[in-house]
Amino acid sequence: SETATVKVALAGCPNVGKTSLFNALTGTKQYVANWPGVTVEKKEGSFTHRGYRINLVDLPGTYSLGYSSIDEKIARDYILKGDADLVVVVADSVNPEQSLYLLLEILEMEKKVILVLTAIDEARKLGIKIDRYELQKHLGVPVVFTSAVTGEGIEKLKDRIVEYHEENDVFHRIVIKYEEKVESKISQIESVLRGKKIGVNPRYFALKYLSGDPEFYNEGVKLGLPELSEEERIAYRLLISKKKREYIESIVKEAYSN
């Protein structure tokens, strides 16, 4: 019989342990190519688990998913438009904040996400305690602790990938609420976009347009959204990223102790 395939994208900031995790999951079953049209390395690998063939794509390490580098553009386009069934966001257990920021951005794309806190061995060594349930509750995604050094959590992660893939629904999606000034703009934009073919969810489009992200801003103006001054776009961008950072800060405060 034919084996069902699950396509998983690995995202995370540089140096959080993404490649080590990729290696722990795939062993020697790896293939290296380039992303189409650019010389950025594309690493793919696979493993089988509970009757599924899992294909992993190691995305370039990025701090966010804006438009400011070729790496960000590759990672973002793949998550938005590629064929991944789910995204595994890899964070360093000791310093998770920046990867959690990335995770919030990917949740706004309405993707199925699993959070992996890796190098959990290091966190333990430092006496850091992390409440996994607290993280799951406030992020709305399954959370798995792993170590590429001890092998802890690797089989559990494989289980979670298969289980989450088999679920029809995304976990229990959290939606970051921005301040009223931003939310009312989002509503206006969503109503202009209603019925138009934009290829992504309207809320995500609205946030990117307001932030002045070139791809979505230019597309938005073409679709009839008003032009915004440079100052307005910067102000929205700051409000939006500040809210995400505050949210992460409060979650980490709740979930981390020593």
**Smallest separation, CB 13 to ligand GDP (Å):** 7
Contacts with ligand GDP, 136-165, as mask; x by CB under 6 A: -----------xxx----------------
- Considering only residues 199 to 228 of the shown chain, the ones binding ligand GDP according to CB under 6 A are none
Compute the distance between CA of residue 152 and CA of residue 117 in angstroms, rounded to an integer. 11
Query: E strands within the chain?
Result: 4-12, 30-34, 41-49, 52-58, 86-92, 113-118, 129-130, 143-145, 256-257
**Smallest separation, CB 187 to Mg ion (Å):** 40
Contact region for ligand GDP (CB under 6 A) — 12-20, 156-164, 204-212, 242-250? 12-20
Q: Which of 5, 7, 19, 53 touches Mg ion (CB under 5 A)?
A: 19
**Contact flag: residue 43 with ligand GDP (CB under 6 A):** no
Residue 73 interacting partner from ligand GDP, Mg ion, none (CB closer than 5 to 8 Å by kind): none
Compute the distance between CA of residue 197 and CA of residue 187 in angstroms, rounded to an integer. 17
Compute the distance between CA of residue 121 and CA of residue 206 in angstroms, rounded to an integer. 40
Compute the distance between CA of residue 24 and CA of residue 192 in angstroms, rounded to an integer. 47
CB atoms within 10 A of CB 217: 19
Nearer to Mg ion among residue 62 and residue 211 (C-beta)? 62
Determine contact, residues 139/102, Cβ cutoff 8 Å.
no
Residues making contact with ligand GDP (CB under 6 A)? 12, 14-20, 61, 118-119, 121-122, 147-149
